[in-house]
A and B are shown apart, each in its own frame.
Chain A
């Protein structure tokens, strides 16, 4: 655990120290904070606390934020000639990989938590005339879990790509393509499946209440996260990384 913490310590300081991009990232962050943390609660009022679409938005935001540092995870270290020195430390393969993964996940998730917190304040300021407005417990759980797992999914994809990519630029391009694939894959799969399968599936989904549907999405994300992290761990080989 202390080795994972050591890698997370380094990664988080590198994230903070990325001076060239700090201003731009700050503006982008403020934009999303304004849209999802202020504007949306103001417009939708109390129903903002129950909107499944918000879960999708949080998941996407957390994922995008988590993916950015993972591009640099290995490709960046390789490009800046720090990878071999990192590999020459006694840090285990698992601690290096998981340290980078958890930092990215926490970064993406943390960003969404800030937005959610600001949103709660906003909805109470704008609409909380009759007392404190808050999530119902299950929806709060979804609001916390969906962005966490989405951040995990994107971070795992990012790390997997970063392990293979020779440069940050190439890793970025591959990640961009992967995100597009992740987003449109369900649509393509549905289009390719026979009508006899799709119809009953859609009926089944339509028959589910929101919580059950979200539960299935959460379960799917959990499985995907696990599989991708496992694949990345198997892919991590010091000798291969040194020579790449």
Chain B
């Protein structure tokens, strides 16, 4: 049976009449990277606060490793690391002191503190600058340090709120690789909010989409992507038979087909597959170079979901 790191059931938080989070229900398996997607003000940060036990739910409940967020929040915070909306670094302190405090707050021994801090700073390439106050650092450097702090005590679950915001592309890619390794090798569960859909697609085993406090969907990015896949396809090649339009239109699931020089544009019914069309054309003597559907990105699926939710 799959072990569950996070579970929300009817999780709701209101502020007066405003429902910031409205009946969320999801499960995040141990060792997975869960991407929480949604526009600004959707309820992502409130959800993280609820899961960390910083806020109490107005209704419903949430569990982290089986611990109720209402009653066991201290234990939950001991077993998690978090990078929240802001890096939350003490600017008057040096990089080393910032990590030292995080380690002391978790009762780590002096030896353990020293080795973990050195290792963390070396991994993010900031060991040489450990004695500098972080006051003058760039946003990207601060973000790297804050992420190192979140994972310093090697928690089994890390919450990351927009972790790659402010990082240069190279640093963002390195961080993504690090996070993927953490999840795959060490079995660490990562709860990640992001606006970067390509990042979510690359990194997350499971994504949840939230809007207006309501969870629109939770699924694997591939499944979600297919939902957003366009119904129009394009087949590029040579030696198409003159009756290509008629030939393809006769197939089930093909609504329309149109030969335009060295490409055929086909409109497909929902759930229709492209492969039988390619096979038929090859049998009819065509040389196929490429066949592809329009869209099919997580972004397209996300935008479609947002549009649907907006209409609803």
Given A9-B101, A239-B55, the answer on whether A90 and B74 have CB atoms closer than 8 Å is yes
Tell me if A88 and B77 are in contact (CB < 8 A).
yes
Query: Which of these, A19, A80, A90, contacts B105 with CB under 8 Å?
Result: A90
Tell me if B88 and A9 are in contact (CB < 8 A).
no
Complex Cα spacing A193 to B104, Å: 52
B264 at the A interface (CB under 8 A): no
Residues in A with CB closer than 8 Å to B55 are: 239, 242-243
Of residues 98 to 136 in B, which have CB atoms within 8 Å of A's CB atoms?
A: 100-102, 104-107, 133
Tell me if B56 and A239 are in contact (CB < 8 A).
yes
Residues in A with CB closer than 8 Å to B84 are: 84-85, 88
Residues in A with CB closer than 8 Å to B137 are: none
Residues in B with CB closer than 8 Å to A18 are: 92
Tell me if A14 and B105 are in contact (CB < 8 A).
no
A86 (CB) vs chain B CBs: closest residue: B88
B78 at the A interface (CB under 8 A): yes
Q: How far is the CB of B231 from chain A (nearest CB, A)?
A: 45
B199 at the A interface (CB under 8 A): no
Given A89-B106, A90-B105, the answer on whether A10 and B88 have CB atoms closer than 8 Å is no
A93 (CB) vs chain B CBs: closest residue: B74
Complex Cα spacing A242 to B50, Å: 11
Tell me if B92 and A17 are in contact (CB < 8 A).
yes
Complex Cα spacing A108 to B145, Å: 33
Tell me if A81 and B88 are in contact (CB < 8 A).
yes
Residues in A with CB closer than 8 Å to B292 are: none
A24 at the B interface (CB under 8 A): no
A92 at the B interface (CB under 8 A): yes
Given A242-B49, A242-B55, the answer on whether A3 and B105 have CB atoms closer than 8 Å is yes
A88 (CB) vs chain B CBs: closest residue: B82
Query: Which of these, A13, A86, A89, contacts B97 with CB under 8 Å?
Result: A13
Instruction: Tally A-B pairs: CB < 8 A.
Output: 83
B106 (CB) vs chain A CBs: closest residue: A90
Complex Cα spacing A239 to B107, Å: 24
Chain A 84-117, CB-CB to B under 8 Å as 1, else 0, gives 1111111110000000000000000000000000
Given A6-B101, A10-B93, the answer on whether A84 and B74 have CB atoms closer than 8 Å is no
Query: Which of these, A13, A87, A91, contacts B54 with CB under 8 Å?
Result: A87
| Residue in A19, A81, A89, A243 with the greatest tally of chain B CB atoms within 10 Å | A89
Query: Which of these, B52, B56, B74, contacts A92 with CB under 8 Å?
Result: B74
B82 (CB) vs chain A CBs: closest residue: A88
Tell me if A13 and B77 are in contact (CB < 8 A).
no
Complex Cα spacing A9 to B100, Å: 10
Q: How far is the CB of B293 from chain A (nearest CB, A)?
A: 43
Tell me if A85 and B88 are in contact (CB < 8 A).
yes
Residues in A with CB closer than 8 Å to B93 are: 10, 13-14, 17
Of residues 136 to 174 in A, which have CB atoms within 8 Å of B's CB atoms?
A: none
* Besides A10-B104, A89-B105, 14 other A-B contacts (C-beta < 8 A): A3-B105, A3-B107, A7-B105, A13-B92, A13-B93, A13-B97, A18-B92, A84-B84, A85-B87, A85-B89, A87-B54, A88-B54, A90-B77, A238-B53
16 A-B residue pairings within 8 Å (CB atoms): A9-B104, A10-B90, A10-B104, A14-B93, A17-B92, A81-B87, A82-B88, A84-B54, A84-B84, A84-B86, A85-B84, A86-B88, A87-B54, A88-B54, A90-B75, A91-B105
**When A and B form their complex, which 10 residue pairs have the shortest distance between CB atoms, in order from nearest?**
A85-B88, A17-B92, A81-B86, A6-B104, A90-B78, A90-B77, A10-B101, A89-B105, A88-B82, A82-B88
